[in-house]
């Protein structure tokens, strides 16, 4: 049942999503299956509209956002495009509560690009990395720091202005993974100004897989030479002279071959829906329901692994259960309540379709199944 849907940290739904997606995919099928030459005149403007929607969400300048399949690919795109001397012999800094896929990538890239990956650890018994520990580890030898705005494992939210200000003093390239907060919490790539931003259209944005984005600040774009390049990396994609390749002056240089447009087109209805909403009301809706879940955790004596202050957390509530979360998730699913788990941690993220009755159903289900 939709009113007990708590998976906005994972997929995300909005009213009418299925119908919008079916209509859009039907239109794509009709255009792409037609025996004419109208396909690209239909597809490319919709890809551009997808990019413009994301530009508005994160307040990114024109020519600074492009598509990527996912966050991991977007991080690869920017790191492999930086001048080699920016990274070689220096550190890349990341927190232990980052999205693991980014860590897997960086662990491998350090061998080829010549940097040392430095992972700021959790304190003994802590659930998230403290900002203070990250700052203490961040010296002038850090070439690049990849910040996780909101953790996917605890919903802990960093003090982004303080961290960015410190990074500027250190002279580091600063990137931010905003996946777990984008579309729910206000984010502005200009305030504080960051060098690159990565995210996906899943989760609070309610889009589809494969519809990620990469934002790169114009001041950094000029220094980047993406290694994966192709005809769409040029100012004029139809320049096919083999001896006259040149990078586009803006974010288009991060494009390569023929762009995959389907995921962007499939996610565009969700972004259009989001653009028409009262974003303050969406956040207030979430805050009221997460507050009730936090209160219930205390009442049920469940271990809360999400910070209680609103300013310190995203839109999720994570609870450490007495035993494996998978068994509780399965029982809740049987009762029409959608959550998920990681080890002993149950994750619950109320969004636009989650009602007070749905929250009450989850709390009652936790009382039945989650206490020792």
Q: Are strands 196-200 and 212-216 parallel, antiparallel or unpaired?
A: antiparallel
The answer to whether 236 touches 252, Cβ cutoff 8 Å, is no
Q: How far apart are CA 207 and CA 203, in angstroms?
A: 7
> In terms of residue numbers, what domain contains 148?
37-274
Neighbours of 283 (CB within 10 A): 17
- The answer to whether the peptide bond before residue 192 is cis (omega within 30 degrees of 0) is yes
What predicted TM-score, i.e. pTM, was given to this entire model?
Answer: 0.97
Q: Are residues 135 and 210 in the same domain?
A: yes
| pLDDT at 2 (0 to 100) | 85
Structural domain includes residue 55: yes
Q: Are residues 269 and 294 in the same domain?
A: no
R_g (Cα) of the chain, nearest Å: 21
Q: How far apart are CA 357 and CA 5, in angstroms?
A: 11
The answer to whether 199 touches 179, Cβ cutoff 8 Å, is yes
CA angle 269, 339, 350 (to 5 degrees): 55
Q: Are residues 141 and 263 in the same domain?
A: yes
The strands making up 116-120's β-sheet, listed across from edge to edge, are: 65-68, 212-216, 196-200, 173-177, 142-148, 91-95, 116-120
Q: How far apart are CA 352 and CA 305, in angstroms?
A: 23
The count of domains in the chain is 2
DSSP letters, 273-293, are HHHTS-HHHHHHHHHHHHHHH
Structural domain includes residue 31: no
Per-residue pLDDT of the chain (372 residues; tens, 9 = 90+): 689 999 999 999 999 999 999 999 999 999 999 999 999 999 999 999 999 999 999 999 999 999 999 999 999 999 999 999 999 999 999 999 999 999 999 999 999 999 999 999 999 999 999 999 999 999 999 999 999 999 999 999 999 999 999 999 999 999 999 999 999 999 999 999 999 999 999 999 999 999 999 999 999 999 999 999 999 999 999 999 999 999 999 999 999 999 999 999 999 999 999 999 999 999 999 999 999 999 999 999 999 999 999 999 999 999 999 999 999 999 999 999 999 999 999 999 999 999 999 999 999 999 999 876
Domain CATH code at residue 309: 3.90.1150.10
Structural domain includes residue 30: no
Neighbours of 219 (CB within 10 A): 10
| pLDDT at 108 (0 to 100) | 97
Q: Which of 274, 309, 330 is the last residue of a domain?
A: 274
Burial class (CB in 10 A: 0-12, 13-18, 19+), 73: middle
The answer to whether 68 touches 74, Cβ cutoff 8 Å, is yes
Q: Are residues 50 and 91 in the same domain?
A: yes
Q: How far apart are CA 30 and CA 210, in angstroms?
A: 21
| pLDDT at 216 (0 to 100) | 98
How many residues are listed for the chain in this entry?
A: 372
Best CA proximity match to 296, nearest among 242, 227, 354, 360 = 360
Structural domain includes residue 183: yes
Q: Are residues 187 and 52 in the same domain?
A: yes
Q: Are residues 283 and 266 in the same domain?
A: no
Q: Are residues 180 and 234 in the same domain?
A: yes
| pLDDT at 372 (0 to 100) | 60
Structural domain includes residue 88: yes
In the block, residue with structure tokens 């205390």 = 298
Burial class (CB in 10 A: 0-12, 13-18, 19+), 174: buried
CA angle 194, 200, 204 (to 5 degrees): 100
Q: Which of 274, 305, 324 is the last residue of a domain?
A: 274
DSSP letters, 33-77, are TSSSS-HHHHHHHHHHHHHHHHHHHHTPPTTSEEEESSHHHHHHH
| H or E element in which residue 246 lies | none
Q: Which of 230, 249, 274 is the last residue of a domain?
A: 274
Q: Are residues 43 and 8 in the same domain?
A: no
Q: Are residues 328 and 269 in the same domain?
A: no
Structural domain includes residue 23: no
Structural domain includes residue 229: yes
Q: Are residues 58 and 200 in the same domain?
A: yes
Q: Are residues 162 and 268 in the same domain?
A: yes
Structural domain includes residue 200: yes
Q: Are residues 197 and 142 in the same domain?
A: yes
Helix (H, G, I), strand (E, B) or coil at 369: helix
| pLDDT at 314 (0 to 100) | 98
- For residue 239, CA distances in Å to 5, 43, 228, 233, 235 come to 49, 21, 17, 11, 9
| pLDDT at 371 (0 to 100) | 74
Instruction: For 260-271, give one letter per residue: b (16+ CB within 10 A) or e.
Output: ebbbbbbbbbbb
The strands making up 345-348's β-sheet, listed across from edge to edge, are: 303-304, 317-320, 345-348, 340-342
Domain CATH code at residue 215: 3.40.640.10
| pLDDT at 1 (0 to 100) | 61
């Amino acid at each position: 049942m939709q009113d007990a849907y708590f998976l906005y940290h994972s997929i995300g739904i909005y009213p009418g999503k299925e119908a919008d997606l079916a209509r859009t995919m039907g239109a794509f099928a009709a255009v792409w299956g037609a025996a004419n030459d109208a396909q690209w005149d239909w597809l490319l403007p919709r890809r551009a509209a997808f990019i413009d929607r994301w530009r508005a969400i994160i307040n990114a300048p024109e020519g600074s956002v492009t598509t990527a399949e996912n966050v991991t690919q977007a991080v690869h795109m920017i790191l492999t495009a930086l001048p080699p001397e920016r990274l070689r012999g220096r550190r890349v800094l990341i927190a232990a509560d980052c999205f693991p896929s980014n860590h897997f990538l960086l662990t491998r890239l350090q061998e080829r690009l010549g940097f040392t990956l430095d992972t700021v650890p959790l304190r003994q018994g802590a659930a998230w990395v403290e900002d203070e520990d990250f700052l203490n580890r961040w010296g002038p030898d850090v070439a690049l720091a990849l910040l996780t705005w909101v953790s996917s494992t605890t919903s802990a939210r960093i003090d982004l202005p303080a961290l960015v200000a410190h990074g500027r003093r250190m002279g580091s390239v600063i990137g931010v993974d905003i996946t777990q907060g984008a579309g729910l919490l206000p984010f502005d790539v200009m305030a504080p100004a960051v060098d690159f931003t990565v995210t996906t259209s899943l989760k609070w944005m309610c889009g589809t897989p494969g519809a990620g984005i990469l934002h790169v600040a114009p001041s950094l774009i000029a220094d980047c030479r993406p290694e994966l390049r192709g005809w769409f990396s040029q100012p004029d994609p139809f320049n096919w002279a083999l001896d006259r390749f040149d990078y586009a002056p803006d974010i288009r240089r991060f494009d390569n071959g023929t762009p995959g447009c389907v995921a962007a087109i499939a996610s565009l209805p969700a972004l259009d829906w989001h653009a028409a909403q009262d974003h303050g009301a969406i956040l207030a809706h979430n805050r009221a329901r997460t507050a009730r879940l936090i209160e219930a955790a205390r009442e049920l004596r469940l271990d809360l692994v999400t910070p209680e202050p609103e300013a310190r957390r995203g839109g999720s509530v994570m609870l450490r259960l007495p035993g494996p979360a998978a068994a509780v998730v399965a029982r809740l699913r049987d009762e029409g309540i959608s959550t998920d788990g990681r080890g002993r941690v149950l994750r619950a993220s109320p969004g636009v379709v989650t009602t007070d009755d749905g929250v009450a159903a989850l709390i009652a289900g936790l009382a039945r199944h989650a206490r020792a």
